[in-house]
């Protein structure tokens, strides 16, 4: 049985308790982060914590603990649960003042709820899907306008994954005003004539921590990067495509809406970036 963390305590998962009035539960009034673990170490922890702070600031939510304390809790959960490869999930909600009300509770008297748990994923970096590539469909992006805040409102992304599954595919890219925003749980990229194209940062997409690292590594390796919106048509005629996220790293995309890309196998750029990302991230892991 897993040991999880709730508001200061390490507990067996079956003994963890949250109020039914918690605003995370009633209103999706919460934010989260997912940090990968490889060889028992955290990948890009500082990046995830910086984004958590930004998400909390944007929603006027209190920080539940200091950076060093959160690092310690992550490490302790990895240790207690014997995680070699996997994830640490962290969620902060605005907490509960013991009733339901649209108005935010007084932050002076209502403490945020802090929950963390681990997920063991043996062989996370050797995911066989990375050798085959994934197949995606495009769907309308009907999410709210602040996708840069990493909130727990994941119903539509979850529905998007179900639409992909129903279509016999692996995932979905969301499209707004004719342009791809991002994947249901990842950032989206195409490669054309050696150029890597991915949507520019704005409130329309999550500012992926993996995205930032991968673009830095690409530029360091003298690859050309263009940050701009692209259409599904452009993606279908690309040489290759891929997605990035903390848990999938760099994952090649080999088909969009039934159209195979390039040779129909993972592309050279995606494959190389995956190798560089994994090598560099392992070196910098804490």
Quick note: the x/- pattern for ligand PMP over 150-189, rule CB under 6 A, is --------------------------------x--xxx--
214, 250 Cβ separation under 8 angstroms: yes
Task: Work out whether 211 is an interface residue with ligand PMP (CB under 6 A).
Answer: yes
Rounded Cα gap, residues 172 and 253, in angstroms? 11
Q: To the nearest whole angstrom, how small is the minimum distance from the Cβ of residue 88 to ligand PMP?
A: 12
Catalytic residue among 62, 150, 236, 283: 150
Q: Which region, judged by CB under 6 A, interacts with ligand PMP, from 76-84, 201-209, 224-232, 258-266? A: 201-209
160, 139 Cβ separation under 8 angstroms: yes
62: nearest Cα among 25, 28, 106: 106
Which residues within the stretch 242-271 sit at the binding site for ligand PMP (CB under 6 A)? Answer: 244-246
Task: Work out whether 209 is an interface residue with ligand PMP (CB under 6 A).
Answer: yes
Q: To the nearest whole angstrom, how small is the minimum distance from the Cβ of residue 91 to ligand PMP?
A: 12
Task: Work out whether 31 is an interface residue with ligand PMP (CB under 6 A).
Answer: no
Pairing label, strands 134-140, 171-176: parallel
Q: What separation in angstroms does the CA of 185 have from each of 2, 224, 243?
A: 25, 25, 9
C-beta of 34 vs 201, nearer to ligand PMP: 34
7-29 residues labelled b (16+ CB within 10 A) or e (exposed): beeeeeeeebebeeebbbbbbeb
**Residue ranges in contact with ligand PMP by CB under 6 A:** 34, 182, 185-187, 206, 208-211, 244-246
Active-site residue list: 150
């Amino acid at each position: 049985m897993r040991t999880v963390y709730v508001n200061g305590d390490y507990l067996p998962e079956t003994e963890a308790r949250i109020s039914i009035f918690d605003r995370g539960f009633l209103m999706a009034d919460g934010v989260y982060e997912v940090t990968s673990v490889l060889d028992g170490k955290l990948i890009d922890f500082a990046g995830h914590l910086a984004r958590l702070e930004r998400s909390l600031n944007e929603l006027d939510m209190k920080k539940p603990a200091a950076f060093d304390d959160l690092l310690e809790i992550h490490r302790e959960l990895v240790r207690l649960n014997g995680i070699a490869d996997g994830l640490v999930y962290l969620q902060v909600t605005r907490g509960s003042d013991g009733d339901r009300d649209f108005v935010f509770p007084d932050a002076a008297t209502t403490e945020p709820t802090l929950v963390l748990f681990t997920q063991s994923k043996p062989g996370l970096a050797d995911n066989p899907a990375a050798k085959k590539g994934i197949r995606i469909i495009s769907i309308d992006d009907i999410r709210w306008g602040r996708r840069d805040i990493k909130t727990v409102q994941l119903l539509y992304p979850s529905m998007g994954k179900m639409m992909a599954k129903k279509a016999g595919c692996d995932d979905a890219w969301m499209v707004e005003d004719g342009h791809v925003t991002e994947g249901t749980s990842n950032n989206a990229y195409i490669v054309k004539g050696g150029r890597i194209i991915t949507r520019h940062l704005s409130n329309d997409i999550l500012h992926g921590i993996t995205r930032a690292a991968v673009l830095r590594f690409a530029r360091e390796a003298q690859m050309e990067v263009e940050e701009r919106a692209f259409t599904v048509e452009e993606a279908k005629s690309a040489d290759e495509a891929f997605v990035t996220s903390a848990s999938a790293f760099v994952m090649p995309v080999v088909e969009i809406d039934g159209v195979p890309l390039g040779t129909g196998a993972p592309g050279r750029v995606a494959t190389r970036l995956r190798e560089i990302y994994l090598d560099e991230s392992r070196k910098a892991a804490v």
